[in-house]
C-alpha cells in the first residue's frame, strides 16, 4: 500500500500523469489526488490495525501466563510449536549452580568466573549469531533476579504468573534475593530510587555534557509522591553545572516515545544501521505503538545511545546505539510469531 502511494508521489514529482485504464474517471488531477488520499488513509488504517492486533495479542498472552517475545532466557528453549518455555537440561543445571553459589554469599562478580558462555541464538532475519559471550557480573545479576526461573514472568516492576516449569524452588530464589539485597547500599536516596529510562543519555544543550538524574519525594497525606528530573549537574572538565537546565523527566520521556511513534524516526534509525531492517520502518512503527510503556522504556534504555536537546526544547536529535538491530530483531520476530 505504502509502495503504491510512493509510486504515485514519484510520478507526480516527475510530472508524469497517471491514467488508470479501468478508471478513466479518476485520471483528472483532483480525482487522482483524492485517490492518493484514500490510499494513504488505508495505509494508516492498516498500520493501526496491526498495532492494535499486537496489543490485543499481548494482553491475551499475559492473561494466560504465556511468554510475549524475544529469545528464550538462559536455562530454557522455546518450544518450536507453542513458542512457550521448556527447560534446557544442560543450561538449567548451570542456572541451579549459579543460584547455589549466590545463596552461599558469592557475588555476581565472583560467579561470573565460571568460564561458561551465555546463550547463543541465530537471528532469524540476518542469520547472524547473537550472544555466546562470557558471562558478565551484570548478566549474572540479571539472571539471579529473573522470576522466570520460578515459573513466572517479570512485568515491569511486578511479577505475573507463567505456565512453564520452574528451574529453582522458591526457598532458593528468596535466599538468593536476600543475599543480593544485603549487598546493596540502602542509603535514603537509593531506597527511593525511581526508574529513569533515559539515564545517562540526554545531552545538555549548553555544555554538551550528559544530564544527571534528580528526584525528590514529598509526602502528601498517606502517600509519598516522587518527582523526577533530568538536570545539568556535571562538574566534569572542572566547569560548573549549567544553571536552570532542568527538565521534568516524564515530559522528555514522553516526547521521545512520541518521536518513536513517528515512522520518520525509525527510517532515520534504519538508515544508520547495518541494513538488516530496510523496508521495516512501517512494521517498527506499528510494533512500537503497540507496546506498553514499561516495555517501551526498557527498549529505550537499550536502543538509544544519546539524545541531544536543542536550547529551545522543541527539537531533539536521537542517536541510536550501534547494536540497536540486535536488540530489536528478537523483539520483532518474537512479536510476529506471537501475533500469528
Residues at the contact surface with Zn ion, assessed by CB under 5 A: 204, 206-207, 232, 242
C-alpha 48/C-alpha 41 separation (Å) is: 11
Nearer to Zn ion, 35 or 245 (CB): 245
Burial of 234 (0-12, 13-18, 19+ CB in 10 A): middle
Nearer to Zn ion, 241 or 330 (CB): 241
Residue 240 Cβ vs Zn ion, minimum distance, rounded to whole Å: 9
Residue 232 Cβ vs Zn ion, minimum distance, rounded to whole Å: 3
Nearer to Zn ion, 177 or 234 (CB): 234
252: enclosing H helix or E strand = helix 249-260
Sign of the C-alpha dihedral computed for residues 31, 34, 39 and 42 taken in this order = negative
- Could you tell me the strand order of the sheet in which 316-320 lies? 202-203, 304-309, 316-320
Nearer to Zn ion, 212 or 259 (CB): 212
142 beta partners: none
Residue 310 Cβ vs Zn ion, minimum distance, rounded to whole Å: 13
Radius of gyration of the chain (CA): 24
Residue with cell 547473537: 130
Tell me the CA distances in angstroms from 52 to 22, 63, 69, 267, 281, one per residue in order: 35, 17, 16, 21, 17
Nearer to Zn ion, 268 or 316 (CB): 316
Residue 313 Cβ vs Zn ion, minimum distance, rounded to whole Å: 14
Residue 208 Cβ vs Zn ion, minimum distance, rounded to whole Å: 7
Residue 256 Cβ vs Zn ion, minimum distance, rounded to whole Å: 19
Nearer to Zn ion, 172 or 246 (CB): 246
Amino acid at each position: 500500500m505504502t509502495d503504491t502511494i510512493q509510486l504515485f508521489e514519484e510520478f507526480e514529482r516527475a510530472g508524469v500523469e497517471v491514467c488508470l485504464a479501468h478508471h478513466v474517471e479518476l485520471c483528472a488531477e483532483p480525482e487522482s489526488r483524492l485517490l492518493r488520499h484514500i490510499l494513504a488513509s488505508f495505509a494508516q488504517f492498516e498500520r493501526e490495525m496491526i498495532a492494535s492486533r499486537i496489543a490485543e495479542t499481548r494482553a491475551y498472552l499475559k492473561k494466560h501466563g504465556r511468554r510475549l517475545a524475544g529469545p528464550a532466557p538462559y536455562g530454557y528453549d522455546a518450544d518450536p510449536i507453542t513458542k512457550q518455555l521448556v527447560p534446557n537440561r544442560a543450561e538449567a543445571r548451570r542456572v541451579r549452580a549459579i543460584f547455589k553459589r549466590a545463596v552461599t554469599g558469592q557475588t555476581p562478580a565472583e560467579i561470573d568466573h565460571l568460564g561458561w558462555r551465555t546463550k547463543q541464538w541465530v537471528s532469524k532475519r540476518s542469520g547472524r549469531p547473537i550472544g555466546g559471550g562470557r558471562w558478565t557480573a551484570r548478566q549474572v545479576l540479571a539472571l539471579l533476579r529473573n522470576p522466570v526461573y520460578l515459573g513466572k514472568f517479570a512485568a515491569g516492576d511486578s511479577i505475573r504468573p507463567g505456565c512453564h516449569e520452574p528451574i529453582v524452588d522458591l526457598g532458593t530464589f528468596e535466599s538468593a534475593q536476600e543475599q543480593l539485597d544485603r549487598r546493596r547500599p540502602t542509603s535514603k536516596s537509593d531506597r527511593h530510587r525511581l526508574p529513569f529510562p533515559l539515564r545517562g543519555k540526554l545531552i545538555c544543550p549548553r555544555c554538551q555534557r550528559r544530564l544527571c538524574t534528580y528526584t525528590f519525594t514529598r509526602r502528601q497525606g498517606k502517600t509519598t509522591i516522587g518527582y523526577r528530573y533530568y538536570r545539568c549537574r556535571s562538574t566534569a572538565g572542572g566547569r560548573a553545572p549549567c544553571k536552570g537546565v532542568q527538565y521534568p523527566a516524564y515530559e522528555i520521556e514522553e516526547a521521545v516515545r512520541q518521536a518513536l511513534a513517528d515512522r520518520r524516526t525509525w527510517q532515520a534509525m534504519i538508515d544508520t544501521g547495518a541494513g538488516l531492517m530496510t523496508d521495516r520502518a512501517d512494521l517498527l512503527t506499528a510494533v512500537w505503538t503497540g507496546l506498553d510503556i514499561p516495555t517501551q522504556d526498557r527498549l529505550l534504555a537499550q536502543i538509544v545511545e544519546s539524545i541531544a536537546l536543542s536550547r529551545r526544547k522543541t527539537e531533539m536529535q536521537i542517536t541510536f546505539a550501534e547494536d540497536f538491530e540486535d536488540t530489536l530483531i528478537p523483539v520483532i520476530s518474537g512479536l510476529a510469531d506471537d501475533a500469528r
